[in-house]
Amino acid sequence: MTLLAAGYSVRGLAQSAWRGGWTVVAVDYFGDRDLAERVPTRSVRGDRGEGYSAEALVDLARSFEADSVVYTGGLENHGEVVAALARGRELLGNDPFVLRRVRDWRLLRSLFTEEAIPFPRTLFPGEEIGAREGRWLSKPVGGAGGTGLRLYGGERLREGRLLQEFLPGLPASATFLCDGRRSRLLGLTEQLVGHRALTERPFAWCGNVFPLELSDEGRRLLERIGDVLVRAFGLKGLNGVDFIVTERDGRRWPLPVEVNPRPAASLEILEAAWGGSLFPFHVAACRGFLPDGDLSFREGFWGKAVVYARRSLNVSCSGDWYDKNRRDIPHDGESVAAGSPVCTLLAEAKRRDGCIGALLEGARVLRDEIGDR
């Protein structure tokens, strides 16, 4: 059985699948060296010399014969592309109908209100009068990774954007396993967002740290959110919910800000902490079977961080990067535009501060090597 992995960047998901015993082929934007060295790969940048478009992945996928397809970040906003990729293949993930509904924030707002689930106030074009007080974020409806996110300045909203109340707190994410009827909360991660050592963009996603400690009350609320979402939308496989841990009524509450109906980038560090591939769990859940029993994670902290270029540069001498716990490695001589990802760093430590410190030190060392100070 051959699996096609497709998305903006698929190295982490493809790695999970091949470690889980699958034969993998891949199409994405980057075609990173550590992906291309392990599985047959076609990339928008390398093979077409173009900027990213989800539609280009469909053309590249015609190069491969595959029995199944799985997708990752970005394609949850392109149901028509998912449908095209899945034509003649088993779809290991949520179908376009589910994607369209679960990514509809009007529907989510109604659902969370009906279920009495606390969430940031959310407004749509024509409702801007509700944002006269407080701080608000303007978000694209189909965004990913913090792209297009900015503080709201009182302007009239265009179609395709929404407002969300800006709440101080800790950005985080939850990973759920769903079989279309039931859900299991697998793990919680802290998100690294807009960290100046990693990116110049204030709201850009830069990585995750596992585990995130939360009260039993907070975990129960997240478990309830997972149950509500799977009942309402029939989610399958690995899915993510981004949330903010914030103070309300003297207690720390997780407030959902986004539903990501596909395997998340944090999967990589959950697998590192567990010591194996979670992809077989994803496949089983997509086929209607939810494995029983708790995952037993090892003691310690695991993290990943994406380093974004501060200026345009060419990368060379990256042959030993993998051994330095770097992933998503560009090919030697490859150009990286300012604001684009250079690579991903991995770290492990006994304490949270040590893990984050190792990621930030790794970013400093990398920038010194490539002259991106």
pLDDT at 160: 87
CATH code: domain of residue 29: 3.40.50.20
In a domain, 295, yes or no: no
Q: DSSP characters for 289-324? A: ----S---PPSSEEEEEEEEPSS-EE----TTTGGG
For residue 347 the two structure tokens come to 């770290």
CATH code: domain of residue 274: 3.30.470.20
Amino acid, single-letter form, for residue 48: R
pLDDT at 220: 96
Each residue of 307-322: pLDDT tens digit?
Answer: 999 999 999 877 899 9
Q: Are residues 177 and 156 in the same domain?
A: no
Total domains in the fold of the chain = 4
Amino acid, single-letter form, for residue 191: Q
pLDDT at 181: 96
Q: Are residues 24 and 129 in the same domain?
A: no
pTM of the model: 0.95
Tell me the residue range of the domain where 157 lies. 121-161
Contacts of 42 (CB under 8 A, 6+ apart): 26, 27, 31, 60, 61, 63, 64
In a domain, 115, yes or no: no
Each residue of 233-259: pLDDT tens digit?
Answer: 999 999 999 999 998 777 789 999 999
pLDDT at 141: 87
pLDDT at 273: 97
In a domain, 112, yes or no: no
Contacts of 98 (CB under 8 A, 6+ apart): 233, 234, 235, 236, 261
Stretches in the chain below the pLDDT threshold 70:
293
**Hey, is 286 helix, strand or coil?**
helix
Contacts of 8 (CB under 8 A, 6+ apart): 28, 29, 52, 72, 73, 74, 75, 144
Strands of the sheet containing 90-91, edge to edge, are: 41-43, 23-28, 2-6, 68-71, 90-91
Quick one: CA torsion of 117, 92, 307, 38, rounded to 10 degrees? 160
Residue closest to 93 by CA, chosen among 2, 203, 177, 9: 177
Continuous segment of H or E residues that includes residue 169: none
